[in-house]
Amino acid sequence: MCFSHIHDDRKLYIVYMGAIPRKDNYSPTSHHLNILQKIADSENANQFLARSYKRSFNGFAAWLTDKERQNMADLEEVVSIIPNVNLKPRTTESWDFLGFPENVNRFLLAETTITIGVLDFGIWPESDSFSDKGLSPPPEYFRDACRGGTDFICNNKIVGARYYNSSTTARDQNGHGTHTASIAAGNAVPGVTFDSIQGTARGGVPSARIAAYRICGEKECPTADMLAGFDDAIADGVDIITISIGYDDPLDFVDDAIALGSFHALKKDVLTVHCAGNGGPDVKTMESFAPWLLTVGATGTRRNFVDPVTLGDGRKLTNRMGASRRSRSGPVRVGSVQIESVWFGQFGSVPVGSVWFETGWFDSICNRSVRTEPNPSERRGVAINTFETTASVPLAYGAGNPNCEDNDRRVCKPQCLDETLRGKIVMCDQPPSYDDLNRVGAAGLALLVPTNDTSHVSGLPEADFTGSGYALLQEYAATQDPRITIEKSSTVVDEASPYVASFSSRGPNSFMPYIMKPDVVAPGRHILAAWPPNIPPTSTGSDKRSVNYNIMSGTSMATPHVAGAAAYVLSFNPQWSPSAIKSALMTTEFAYGSGLIDPVKAIDPGLVYDNNYADHVKLLCVYYNDRKKVRLITGEPNPCSIEFLSPLNYNYPIIAQAIDVSKSTAIDLSFRRVLKNVEFNASMYTAKVDADPHVKIQVTPDSFVFEKVRDTRLFTVRVTGIYPSDALLLSSTLVWSDGTHSVRTPIVIYKS
């Protein structure tokens, strides 16, 4: 931030004050300065004010000492003091993979009225993905939202652009923002190529508009700027917000800039789509918990990459060489649901066969039709290597600077790489810097990676291996004059897809055990999308290549897929609430509830689980049990005087609860839900339950008739039984069907 030189003893904090007070002549900025002058005891307190949040909610960012921060927290009008930290990014064919072809039925007139706000690293406006050819002028309310800097020009596609203290332009200087924006709403651009890949690159809603809010510098994203982006995006009038940025660790709502910003967006009927994070495969790595957020995990598509590798003795490490010796395959039963073809092999250094229910079980909740691991293929080289074949090049392992320890040379620490590696393929047990390898003239890289389901664009000839594949290389490297040939990458069909990507963060919810996350999954592996041509595809200094489209992986890429799908649903149903759109995407996926999205089905779900703003306020009242805090957040004079809400009755499209089996193994839980009819025809729905054998599930009533659109019907679900000692979860499914529509609701009881 540009004010950091003021005082070394001050740090930047966000002073969150909730909703803007409904008072005549109230000036947020004046109020903020008055507070600062009182707390800082200085007539020049304005020098400590970094930013006022005054368009969509109330608060400010300021440079404070520790004592001032403590005194500020004691003020009646302050909800929370949030440290400014740097958040991180969670980094064509994918839409077809979702059953969403280029010629899908569209309501183009409505699509052109939708604006997606992208809070990210900015955007590259000259990309063909953002051409405004054939688009009408932007909505009137966005005419004053283009403030992208002197080198930035908006058009009828990019209708808004802003930047904040961490940058001086809305122009993307990282690549991440351009990539995510084009996935959500980029034009259909035919003839796009990335090495051997070619085809049409397109976003989910090519006729929709984009407003780009550059909340990040070149690498990281301050939370003060994140809230500023929310403040502007809500006031500018965006319809959907997509965020592919996240915290390293989950935070309570009042300390989480994304949860707070999205709550105020919800009040304006703006849905926020957020990434689950890239902390997988470990459990409890989810960073997006707020029930009003649409949280997205990542799957693959049918595209995968292989790097054919030949050793000097003629052995080839190319295609699938079979599962590891610890592997076995076959159907696995999770509750009453059978997961086909889950592979039990090495999961990095952890044998999945012995801990699968510790690392993979929440995928079965979030997406019971999605496998958690592909065939390990451990001897296959995986990377996206666009370089020409390196024929019979010397292989070096543990070589380099003789003054380094053996282990330091094997992990390729920078100081251990020297000129003796020139012209050789270097084996590394940990990811090295491409710049360091190029500095010493290495011919290529053979890298040990924890999982092989995701490839990355390489900065020099490279092949990556897990498990026995890398062990084979280690043995071969110890022979006399080892040599290796790494061929250019080729694409293969990933027959195991779809499965949840190993990097995709897992649940359960650390704060609300009755809210299961992530909500849905979408393609996030090997996604080809727009890229600034002045930034190399690996973003390293030694990489001199220029591309207009690049391949990235992460929940960052899955999130804009869902934002585009949400915009598509909104274009057909402009009166729907954010909760209705979310429900439609969660209950109409390909096979089992809350899994891989199906945008075409989601425009006509039949029924939805709807929530309004007051429902979310009720939940906050129960969660915090602090009337003052909720009053400040909402701006309502007495928000917790409304009907008490049991958390189990919060109208979420997933029914879930944790059980403390150390106290009792008896299960007797009741949940209440309300379904709203979104069809114009009268219809009769009947309930069908596929229950885990350890529980009995009773739905009351088990059928009902909807006579007209917007009719609502209440039902209860009672789950009884005894929790078995050897189970981590009990997974069941409730399906409401009228013969045409199937509204799927997972029912999950799990061990806390």
For residue 374 the two structure tokens come to: 């592909």
Question: Alpha helices, DSSP H only, in 305-347?
Answer: none
556 alpha carbon, distance to own chain's centre: 5
CA distances from 341 to 338, 372, 373, 376, 497 (A): 10, 9, 9, 12, 10
Catalytic (active site) residue 526: no
Other C-beta atoms lying within 10 Å of the C-beta of residue 255: 18
How far is residue 472's CA from residue 466's CA, in Å, rounded to a whole number?
10
Identify the active-site residue in 31, 80, 120, 377.
120
How far is residue 391's CA from residue 484's CA, in Å, rounded to a whole number?
7
Is residue 303 within 8 Å of residue 523, measured between CB atoms? no
506 alpha carbon, distance to own chain's centre: 11
Identify the active-site residue in 31, 32, 176, 274.
176
For residue 247 the two structure tokens come to: 């915290």
The DSSP secondary structure of 459-528, one letter per residue, reads SSSEEEE-HHHHHHHHHHHTSSS-EEEEPPPEEEE-TT-SBB-TTS-----SS-TTS-S--EEEE-SSEE
Catalytic (active site) residue 120: yes
Identify the active-site residue in 556, 683, 732, 742.
556
CA atoms within 13 A on the CB side of 201: 27
CB neighbour class for 144 (10 Å; exposed up to 12, middle 13-18, buried from 19):
exposed
Other C-beta atoms lying within 10 Å of the C-beta of residue 323: 18
For residue 353 the two structure tokens come to: 């066969």
Catalytic (active site) residue 129: no
DSSP state of 137: P
Pairing of strands 271-275, 245-246: unpaired
* SS3 (DSSP) at 111: helix
How far is residue 160's CA from residue 150's CA, in Å, rounded to a whole number?
14
Q: Which residues are catalytic?
A: 120, 176, 556
